[in-house]
Amino acid sequence: MQMINIQVTKDEMLQFYANKIVEQAIQNCKDNNCTISLKNYSSDVDILNYKMQMLQELYKDERILDVFWNSEDNIEVVLFKEYCPFYCQYGEQMPKSEQARILLEFYKYSKKTEVFKPPYVSVRKLLNKYMMRYANKRKEIRSTTSDVIKRNIVDTGFINKYLDKNGEAYITIKNYQEFLNLIADKIAELNMQSQECKEEVEED
């Protein structure tokens, strides 16, 4: 087998590893930040010799909120919340009945809107598009509403099942009905939990 030697420039190498760092951060972040060790990153050029250039390259990425070196070979990546597929900050303590109401409105929107232009859309972009109707609401309401929807979508397992290496879970023609069914099941579950809570209160 003939070996092919591909030469890359220093800038191309930095771009490659910057994207690899962001992808790793998205895949591993539980909150909106993640520590990435560069010890095992191999290259013809030692990227640890280009720390400032690496930071500059990372800051070009729209998914990055902040980034800094927290040790000799560890880099701390802070992502914008919307790019963290499993991170939800608000809405956990909201009554189940209110969560069900919010999720139902999103379900109706997802069912009626033409999401397949082109024939796929990421969960993140669909949620962002839906949240445009809340543009005139207070930031607290927007954040809570968005997180309630995202948290419940995460709970369905859809994002975990379809998450790609770039941290996006896509709704396609093939899984669109599955997505709607999972949301509908989650609404029913929330309503059931809400009724159970109501009965417990009444019994007390």
What Å distances lie between residue 97 and 73, 93, 184, 188, CA to CA? Answer: 47, 11, 14, 10
What would the mean pLDDT of 189-200 be, rounded to a whole number?
Answer: 75
Task: Answer yes or no: do 196 and 105 share one domain.
Answer: yes
pLDDT at 40: 67
Task: Answer yes or no: do 163 and 142 share one domain.
Answer: yes
**Averaged pLDDT score across all residues of the chain:** 85
> Structural domain of residue 182, as residue ranges?
96-203
Task: Answer yes or no: do 101 and 79 share one domain.
Answer: no
- Say if CB 149 and CB 127 are below 8 A apart: yes
Task: Answer yes or no: do 17 and 61 share one domain.
Answer: yes
Pick the last residue of a domain from 83, 108, 129: 83
Task: Answer yes or no: do 117 and 56 share one domain.
Answer: no
Task: Answer yes or no: do 62 and 139 share one domain.
Answer: no
Task: Answer yes or no: do 77 and 100 share one domain.
Answer: no
Q: Which residue has the higher pLDDT, 118 or 109?
A: 109
Indicate whether 88 belongs to any domain.
no
Task: Answer yes or no: do 173 and 139 share one domain.
Answer: yes
Answering whether pTM is above 0.85, one says no
Residue 135 has pLDDT above 90, yes or no: no
Task: Answer yes or no: do 74 and 115 share one domain.
Answer: no
Pick the last residue of a domain from 83, 106, 130: 83
Number of domains in the chain: 2
Summarised one tens digit per residue, pLDDT across range 16-52 is 888 888 988 888 887 888 888 887 675 555 777 888 8
Indicate whether 51 belongs to any domain.
yes
What Å distances lie between residue 3 and 6, 57, 145, 150, CA to CA? Answer: 10, 30, 54, 47
Pick the last residue of a domain from 48, 83, 118: 83
- Say if CB 64 and CB 78 are below 8 A apart: yes
Indicate whether 1 belongs to any domain.
no
